[in-house]
Amino acid sequence: MSLSVNTNVASLNAQRNLGVSSTSLNRALERLSSGFRINRAGDDAAGLSISESLRSQVRGLRQAVRNANDGLSLVGTAEGAISEVTNLIQRIRELAVQSSNGTNSQANRTALQAEVTQLTAEIDRIATTTQFNGRNLLDGSFTSTSLQVGANVAQTISVDITSIRAISLGATATYAGSAITAAAAGDLDDLTINGIQIANPVASDDTVSTTANAVSAIALAAAINASSGQTNVTATVNAATTTGGSAVGGGTLNSTNNFTINGVTFNAGTIQANDADGALQNLINAQAASTGVTASISGNNLVLTAADGRNIQVTAAGTGATITGVAAAVYKGSVTLSSLEQFTVGGSDASAAGHAAGTKALNSSALNAVNISTFSGAQAAITTADAALAQVNAARAGLGAVTNRLESTIANLQTTAENLSASESRIRDADFAQETAALTRAQILQQAGVAILAQANVVPQAALSLLR
């Protein structure tokens, strides 16, 4: 190996390695002092990008938790106010029941009405003054309001709170339909309520009719009620009834001249004109448990009624139809449609279902119009109060569902934020055991490097010995 004075290769090498160990020492000190493995993009560009994205998500989730908690507070405020409105309506109903009692004088009823007036005024005051952060909650203006419950776009929960003003409570839209005219299965496959297609009624929903089960009032009501959650309209079955087209003719029932109702044949007995002795009624009513049909006389005509709404199937042989005055046919019941808001009936089969197509407006008085100063008014007030209670109970139920949803959302957000924080920590945070080891190694190399550099710097002095 040559001995050079101008270039000290050993010193240069020692200086380079000392610089490397110094860099390692500084990096270890920086990571230990900051707690982060990544302090700048140069430490891990990809890791920094992922870490910042995760950190953004975590901060968004934590804000979403605060948003959801604000939502809980809002819903709780509204629910508490509606709870008090429920108590007021209960009191109005109680007063209506009291006023319905015949022992009350007119002065008593007038006094009861005075309290009702104050109670409805208080309902309106609560509805118009209940606020959260300056926003009215119960006057009908708080609709389609979004609560941001996520860290990203479109992660919202929509909250609607119905109006609980007295003018908005208790009114109903109730429409009794006419008898169903559909003849066979599939004839009611195009019926809509509030734009929702009603499923085609099925025979299995009517287990009591003896024919045309799929187009009975029972089957139709079942089909409509299956979609009531979407339409907010319910259907109730009305009695099926038919009145003979002519007076009871009278005659002798036998194997030749007879009639059948829902599968039960009547072929014995003497019937007087106009059923003067009630024999025809008694004959039919004796089989009511089997047919589901009862008989009565209106004027001189036979009236058949199926109280449960089942179809009434009538057939006749010989002079059977003349004896009863009722033509052979299948007589169907009807359904009443009810809602707490106006609704629309549509579809080409609306008429066959017994309801004219079109909008059905509210057709009963609201709570603000209750007047229990008369017997009839008190009776009507009970119905109105029941409808109002159904509305506020539905509103409270909806708010309860939102409360439960928000609580679940908060729990999920907190869990997600915790997991993302852990993920971000694994990428960005320093491993103290590893960094301490790196620090110790760098310190040893620093000390060794300084010592070796000192030795390397004296190597050229050996050239002086050759000059002596």
Structure tokens at 55: 């950190």
CA 166 to chain centre: 24
User: What's the first-to-final CA gap in the chain, in angstroms?
Assistant: 21
Q: Compute φ and ψ for 190, nearest 5 degrees.
A: -130, 75
Going by pLDDT thresholds of 50, 70 and 90, the confidence category of residue 218 is: very high
Going by pLDDT thresholds of 50, 70 and 90, the confidence category of residue 15 is: confident
pLDDT per position as a tens digit, 331-364: 999 999 999 889 999 999 999 999 999 999 988 8
Give the pLDDT score at 197.
96
Going by pLDDT thresholds of 50, 70 and 90, the confidence category of residue 434 is: confident
Structure tokens at 116: 């009702």
pLDDT at 3 over 70: no
Give the pLDDT score at 437.
85
Kindly report whether the global pTM for this prediction surpasses the value 0.75: no
Looking up tokens 């310190």 gives 443
Going by pLDDT thresholds of 50, 70 and 90, the confidence category of residue 37 is: confident
Can you list the domains of the chain with their CATH numbers?
49-169+367-420 (1.20.1330.10), 173-238+334-360 (3.30.70.2120), 241-331 (3.30.70.2120)
Give the pLDDT score at 426.
86
pLDDT per position as a tens digit, 73-82: 999 999 999 9
Structure tokens at 78: 């509204």
Count CA within 13 A, CB hemisphere, residue 406. Answer: 25
CA quadruple 378, 382, 383, 386: dihedral, nearest 10: 160
CA distance 35 to 23: 18
pLDDT at 1 over 60: no
Looking up tokens 């309801």 gives 355
CA distance 46 to 31: 18
CA distance 28 to 273: 115
